[in-house]
Structures are given as C-alpha cells and as structure tokens.
Chain A
Amino acid sequence: MRSLILIFVYLSKDILKRWLETPGAVFARLLIAISLCLLFLFMQAGFVLTEKAVERKIESFGLNTMILRSTGFSKTEVRPSLDQLLSSLSELGTYLPFSSLYVNAELSSKKRAKVIVYNDHSIPGLNSLMGWDGSQGPIFLAAYGYPKAMVERVKVWKFFFDADVVKPPSILRFISLNDPLLFIPESMAQAFEQFSVQESVLFLSDDSVDLIKIIESTEALLKKEGFDRYELSSPIKWVGELDGVRDLRVKAQAIGGGFVGLLIVLIFGSIAVFEYRQNIFATALFKSFGLHSIHLILRYLIDGLLLLFISFLGAVQLAQLFHGIVFKKAGFAPDLLDVSAFNPYEISGNLYLLILLAIASLVSILPICIALRKPVGKVLG
C-alpha cells in the first residue's frame, strides 16, 4: 500500500510537472476537447429542443385534431364542397367547416387579419370551440391582446364591419398561428364572391384512436371523389415525426460521437506518445524496479481522463452560457430556452458523452501500452 501511495504521488508530480513544463500541450488538448464537447452538446440540445417543440405543438393542438384544406382549385371546377362531403363528421366530434378568403381584413391598428367565412354547419362547432353565449354579433374577431367585450372596426376590401372581439382558443392556431381571425357569416360575405376562397374543415375527434380511422376514411373518400389537391394535417401524424427526430438523434449521436471520439483519440494519443517518448527513461527505470506496466499506463490514463473531464465540465458551463443566444438564433421559442426550467446539459443527461470521452482516453493510450512492452534492457544503457 505504501509503495502504491509513493508511486501515485510520484506519478502525480510527473503529470503536474509536464503540465507546467508544456502548458501549450495542455491548453491545446483542453481547447480541442472543449470545442468538440461543446459542438456535441449543442447538437444534442438541438435535437432535444426539437423534440420538446414538437411535443408542445402536439400538446397545444391536442392529439385528436385534424385540419383539411383544399389547395389550388379553379372556380370553374365542378365538384362537391368539402362541407358536403364531410358533414357526417359532425356526429363524431366537433366539426367546423369554413372558407378562408384570399383577401385580408385591416384592423384599426393597421394590423391585418385573415378572413374566415362560416356557414350554418359551422355554428355548433363555433359554439363548442369559442364558448359562444349568444351575446356576440355574427361578425367577430378572434384575437389576442384585446380587452374583453371590445368592438373593433375592421375593413374588408371596401366594406367596414363592427366585430366583437373574442379570445381565440389555442386550436385556432391551426388556422393562422397567432394572427387575428375575422369570422363573417356566409350570408354577409356575398359581396366578396369575386375573391377566391380556400375551403377548410377543422375537426376534433372525441377519441384520438378513432381519429386515425377517420383520417384514413377521409383520405379514401377524397380519393374516390377525385380530390387530389388537398392538405390534411393532424398532430397524430406529428407523433411519427417525433419518432423520426428521435431516430435521427440516435444516428447523429452515434456518428457525431464517433467523430468526436476519433479526433480525441488522435490528438490525445499523439500528445501522450510524444510525452511518453520524452519520459521514456524514467518510465523504464520504474519498470526496472519491478513495477507493473499497469501503474505506468494509469499515469497516462489519469492524465487524459483528468483533462477530458475538465473539458467536459468547461463545455457544459459554456453551453449553458451560450444556450439562449445559439438556439434563439436557430428559431426556438424563448420559453423553451430557459435552462433553469429545462436544462439539456445536466451531467445525467449527457452520460453518453462522458462514457465516450472515457473510452476515447482509454483508446488513446493504446500506443503507450504497446510501447511499454519494449524490454527495459533495450531502453536503459
């Protein structure tokens, strides 16, 4: 035991002496390892944030939602409307057929709002989604940031309307993200006949399992009726997208990890061999005392592990520092970037990188293991 302590103390002194003698070699190793770890951490965090964003999108829209939009029909085309085809959906959940006008409304603040034309079939759906209590007029503006029960004067083309302002349910983000929506009943929208419209149906199933079947049967019906220009989206389809992101993360982790590991092995291995060659006589002298090579190998392993662990911790600190800046530029929502609420750089979440670094430092000393096999008598004179 005493001998192990003395050897440990001596080899620690040796490591420290090398670090102080050649700070450039230490700095180069740290800089490269920190940069590689930082890149890897940002890549990982990017994937995790993408998954989070998709999960949130699914949560906010609800898994049981579907929206169908017709695309690119000419006005002369003769075909049944989406509402005519899909009105039976009203028995299976909340059904909201509507048309979007290809003209915007202008609010008093000069802000623009999308114009939605609804019909009688839409009223039960609007009742359910908007919580209508009958006090509103037929024309209403679904917009955030307005006081309750306010009336807003809006202009559509050359007509003015007074619209009751209502707070939109989050489901309406499916139609127009956070922009305001002006709802006009069909009976009052005849003046806009000259404008093109896009037919749409928003549907909330009572059961998300049923929705898969409903999507399949809707697509089959549209195909049968010759609809080939439509867009059907549903968060239930994003679940597959989420799996895709996770698969991609695993692949990127493997490829990126391999790349980081390989570079670390090459750089740390080269420097370790260089230091070993400088230290070859002292090492051989130790061996001549009957010391097992494993103790000498440990010196290089500890050296590499220590530097890599310091690099890892440094990279984690830097990643947390620049997390907001980097991912804000990448377009992620600010509420996702609060590391105090969700920290993708916690050590427990990055064990893969730590294990990878440990393996890399182990592999990087392989040349030394081979060199240590050289008999003492061929090194010492």
Chain B
Amino acid sequence: MSNNETIECADISFRYGKEFVFDSFCHSFYSGISLIKGYSGCGKSTLLKLIAGYLNPQKGMIHLPAPWYKPSKRFQREGLGFVFQQLNLLPLANLSGNLNLVASLAGISSKDTKKRSGSLFEKLGLSGLKNKKPGTLSGGQQQRAAIARALVKSPTVLLLDEPTSGLDDDNTKVIKHLLSTSLPKNCFCILSSHDHRLEEIADEIIDFNLRLPVERHLKEVA
C-alpha cells in the first residue's frame, strides 16, 4: 500500500533476457538515506532505474510518495535527482549550464537556481570550476558536479548509483558530508554501492547479497 511516507516496491519482477534480476521483490523505502549494498550484478543499479522509471518492471508496481504516485516524465523533471555511475554531465555545457538546464526543466526560477547552485558548488568545493566544461575536470570533480546537479532541484527522491566508486577518501568525505547535512527535508535518498565508507551515513542498509541463491553467495564471498 503506498502512502506519502514510503517508496513501495510491490511484487517487482524484472529480467534482462531470460535471467531474472528481481522476481516478486517487495520493499518499502522510508525518507532518509538507504544504502543498497551487494556484489556486482545483484541488481542494485537496476532497482534504482526501476524506481526512477528508466526501466519498466515486467511485473509489479513502484509506488512513489505524493504527488508523484508512480514514475513519470514529470516526476523525472521535478521530483527526481539521479546520479549515474558515469557519463553524468552534458559535455557541451559548463557546470553552471548543466545545473541551469536541469533546474529550468524542474520549473525553478533562474534566481533560485543561481542561489542554490552557488551554495551547492561551495559545499562541494566546485566554486572555482562552475564555468568549466566537464571534459576539463577530474573524475571526482565530475562526480561531485553530478551530485550538485541532482540536488539543485531539491528532489523528493535522490538516487545515487555508486556515487563514490573510484573516488579517493577526500572526495568521498565531501560527498558523505553533503549527503548527511544538506538533503532536502523528507527526501528519499537511496544509494547503491559496495563502498563500506558510506555505511556510516545510512539510516538503513539493505544487503542484496542475501537475496542471492546460497551457491552464488558462497561463490561471491569466496
């Protein structure tokens, strides 16, 4: 049953080809930070894409909090912030341009966008880089910029797919600090990661390895 306080995965089934990634999966996410951990291929990223509406479940439903109720284009424009593992930024726009474009799609005024961008750039240590094109930035800087872009519209649902993968401790620390201090009120932040460094900021940890068949689990652990 959906309500304004949860993201509900109701009996979700999804498969790539013949292999099921989810078979009748059920879970309720509450506001705060939820960390999904597990080995590669266990379905962490797929679940985020299903919640975002970037993939459609073959069976079951995703229930989102009001006013979205279910994944839609409007939800993606106004209520969702998504950070992909890679290829996150539009290459022809500078960092400010990237944030402006997303904020304008969400219907945020240019004055508010400027204010929010400035604050996020400062918190993420990107103030001096806002006029730079993504191609001139390091991987860590690009990842931080992608998080700023996801947060600029103060999303109801923030989904981050391996946000710290390949990042050094300093970069990870900045991201952890931002997520623990600057999330919008009642935001549902779901992180998929196998980075143990993120566990300390999570309100809930879901271990997808426990969903795997025993033989595969033992193999992955070994």
Contacts and interface: CB of A to CB of B under 8 A. Distances in A.
Interface stretch (A60-68, A101-109, A165-173, A285-293): A285-293
Nearest to B101: A6
Interface stretch (B29-37, B102-110, B169-177, B213-221): B102-110
Nearest to B81: A289
Contacts of B73: 290, 292
- What class of interface size applies to chain B in its complex with A? 20 to 34
B92 A288 contact: no
- What class of interface size applies to chain A in its complex with B? 20 to 34
A290 B90 contact: no
A152 B212 CA distance: 116
B82 interface: yes
Given A6-B101, A377-B49, A381-B86, A288 B54 contact: yes
A3 B101 CA distance: 6
Contacts, number: 72
A377 to B, nearest CB: 3
A265 B76 CA distance: 34
Contact of B87 (A13, A291, A375, A380): A380
A13 B104 CA distance: 18
B102 A289 contact: yes
A17 interface: yes
A292 to B, nearest CB: 7
A290 B110 contact: no
B90 A282 contact: yes
Contacts of B75: 290
A14 B88 CA distance: 17
Contact of B55 (A13, A286, A292, A378): A378
Interface centre among B54, B82, B89, B97 (most CB of A within 10 A): B54
A376 interface: yes
Contact of A10 (B45, B50, B101): B101
Interface in A339-381: 375-378, 380-381
B97 to A, nearest CB: 7
B38 to A, nearest CB: 16
B164 interface: no
A7 B98 CA distance: 11
A139 B184 CA distance: 112
A43 to B, nearest CB: 42
B87 A377 contact: no
Nearest to A13: B92
Contacts of B50: 377
Contacts of A292: 73
A381 B45 contact: yes
A380 B102 contact: no
19 contacts: A2-B110, A3-B107, A6-B97, A7-B105, A13-B93, A14-B92, A285-B84, A285-B87, A285-B88, A285-B90, A288-B52, A288-B54, A288-B76, A290-B76, A290-B78, A290-B105, A291-B105, A375-B55, A381-B45
Q: Which 7 A-B pairs have the closest CB atoms?
A: A290-B77, A290-B76, A377-B54, A377-B49, A377-B55, A3-B104, A376-B54
Given A290-B73, A290-B74, 11 more contacts: A3-B104, A3-B105, A6-B97, A282-B91, A285-B90, A289-B76, A289-B77, A290-B80, A375-B54, A381-B85, A381-B86
